[in-house]
Amino acid sequence: MVPNDNDIKQLVHEWAQAIRDGNMDGILARHTSDIVVFDVPMPLQNIGLDAYRKTWELFFRYSPRGEGSFELIDLKILSGDYVAFCYALLQIGGREPECRLTLGLQKINDKWYIVHEHHSAPFAIPEEK
Amino acid sequence: MVPNDNDIKQLVHEWAQAIRDGNMDGILARHTSDIVVFDVPMPLQNIGLDAYRKTWELFFRYSPRGEGSFELIDLKILSGDYVAFCYALLQIGGREPECRLTLGLQKINDKWYIVHEHHSAPFAIPEEK
């Protein structure tokens, strides 16, 4: 594991902790102003920090906070010099993992920032007759 | 745009063309054997090239081929020395864009490979009473 992996691991775990705490300043602390977010619910995409904040306001309307409310499972990080991405399964609301997360990161002025988030849940396939 | 962006742009567009052509060898040509895929339908994740191939066999069972069958909209690429990611909206089956795509890439022996794919469609939010 190279040093950038450790920096990103810490950033991502602090972000997840801020979500479990319902701490909006912490959630938004390491995102760029032009972040592009693909979230579980509609719309197709959310562009910019204000839109990103609203995705969490919606999340907190339906989901509890605290331990188990937003846990990363099998977090895998790949980092280069100035670009990195990571992905994990997501355990939400204490249930079995049923969502997936991919984050895209960029190093700007020697600090890592999240510039892209993709959250989703898979659809059930209709049974064939 | 740095040279890596051009390499990745070409790789991604060739991959999308292989999908439109239903050319399975082309689809799988630039993926690592341990690829982790989060697909639109269940399961939660697909690990490895064999599982990845099956996601396309399923796709071709429901989707037509040809122009408009798998088009990348607003492709954005961020590349570093050995790690890159990109994302786009997806137009499938000639319909309006209703899916999203994020790819994670790694440069191995001077060639880029896709090591992670995340495809999804957003859920509708139930109307509040």
Q: Is the pLDDT of residue B36 over 80?
A: yes
Q: Is A91 exposed, middle or buried (0-12, 13-18, 19+ CB in 10 A)?
A: middle
User: Does any domain span residue B20?
Assistant: yes
Contact state of A78 with B120 under an 8 Å Cβ cutoff: no
At A47 the three-state DSSP class reads: strand
Q: What is the pLDDT of residue A129?
A: 54
**Nearest one of A94, A74, A68 to A16, comparing CA atoms:** A68
User: Does any domain span residue B125?
Assistant: no
Please give the Cα distance from B61 to A84 (Å, whole number): 34
How many C-alpha atoms does B61 have within 13 Å on its Cβ side?
9
pLDDT tens sequence for chain A (129 residues): 567 899 999 999 999 999 999 999 999 999 999 999 999 999 999 999 999 999 999 999 988 899 999 999 999 999 999 999 999 999 998 889 999 999 999 999 999 999 999 999 999 976 665
Mutate to test the interface with A, among B8, B38, B92 (most CBs of A within 10 A): B38
B8-26 per-position pLDDT tens digit? 999 999 999 999 999 999 9
User: Does any domain span residue A126?
Assistant: no
Q: What is the pLDDT of residue B4?
A: 86
Please give the Cα distance from B5 to B8 (Å, whole number): 5
Nearest CA in chain B to A84: B83
Candidate from A36, A79, A82 with C-beta closest to B87: A36
With contact defined as beta carbons under 8 Å apart, do B2 and B77 qualify? Answer: no
Cite the DSSP H helix spans in chain A: 3-21, 24-28, 49-62
* Total domains, chain A: 1
Contact state of A36 with B98 under an 8 Å Cβ cutoff: no
Residue B128 — pLDDT band, cuts 50, 70, 90? low
User: Does any domain span residue A125?
Assistant: no
Q: What is the mean pLDDT of chain B?
A: 94
Q: What is the pLDDT of residue A125?
A: 78
Q: What is the pLDDT of residue B39?
A: 98
Q: What is the pLDDT of residue A128?
A: 60
Residue B2 — pLDDT band, cuts 50, 70, 90? low
At B14 the three-state DSSP class reads: helix
**Nearest one of A60, A127, A63 to A95, comparing CA atoms:** A63
CA distance A109 to chain B (A): 15
User: Does any domain span residue A67?
Assistant: yes
User: Does any domain span residue A128?
Assistant: no
User: Does any domain span residue B29?
Assistant: yes
Question: Taking an 8 Å Cβ-Cβ cutoff, which residues of chain A contact chain B?
Answer: 36, 38-45, 58, 76, 78-85, 87, 89, 97-98, 100, 102, 104, 106, 115-116, 118, 120-125
Question: A104 lies in which domain range?
Answer: 3-120
Candidate from A85, A118, A120 with C-beta closest to B83: A85
In this predicted model, which residue has the larger pLDDT, A1 or B7? B7
Please give the Cα distance from A95 to A104 (Å, whole number): 26
Please give the Cα distance from B111 to B109 (Å, whole number): 6
B50-80 per-position pLDDT tens digit? 999 999 999 999 888 999 999 999 999 999 9
Residue A77 maps to which CATH number? 3.10.450.50
Q: What is the pLDDT of residue B65?
A: 92
Q: Is the pLDDT of residue B115 over 70?
A: yes
End-to-end CA distance of chain A: 49
Contact state of B44 with A102 under an 8 Å Cβ cutoff: no
Q: Provide the ipTM.
A: 0.95
DSSP E strand boundaries for B1-129: 31-38, 46-47, 70-79, 83-92, 99-108, 111-120
Contact state of B100 with A79 under an 8 Å Cβ cutoff: no
Q: What is the pLDDT of residue B94?
A: 86
User: Does any domain span residue B108?
Assistant: yes
Phi-psi region of B93 (alpha: psi -120 to 50; beta: other; left: phi over 0): left
